[in-house]
Amino acid sequence: NVRALSEWLKRVKSGEARPPSPALPKVVKVKMDRGRVFKGKTMAGRKMRGLLKLKYRHTHHYKWGRKQKERELRKRHEVVRHKGGH
């Protein structure tokens, strides 16, 4: 492979062969983080999850009770809200 490459480079330098045209760079597309609201990262998400009450905000008992209440009311609070397969 090294020998073939060196021969090809000699032909390119002498003008017998043309070097390939430069390829376009690959476009990297960054997806928007669509789950920010549902994780409670935004003010609307914190309000939706009930994280704005100062007294009970960081207690697990409050969270577990609220989730159980939502399960009984069938609020579908644990369903996947975005595409992505998980």
Token pair 């009770």 is found at 65
CB 77 within 8 A of CB 61: no
Q: Is 37 helix (H, G, I), strand (E, B) or coil?
A: coil
Instruction: Assign 60 a pLDDT band (cuts: 50, 70, 90).
Output: confident
Rg (CA), the chain: 29
Average pLDDT in the chain? 80
Going 64 to 66 to 67 to 72, the CA torsion angle's sign is positive
Render pLDDT for 4-17 as a digit per residue (tens, 0 to 9). Answer: 999 999 999 998 98
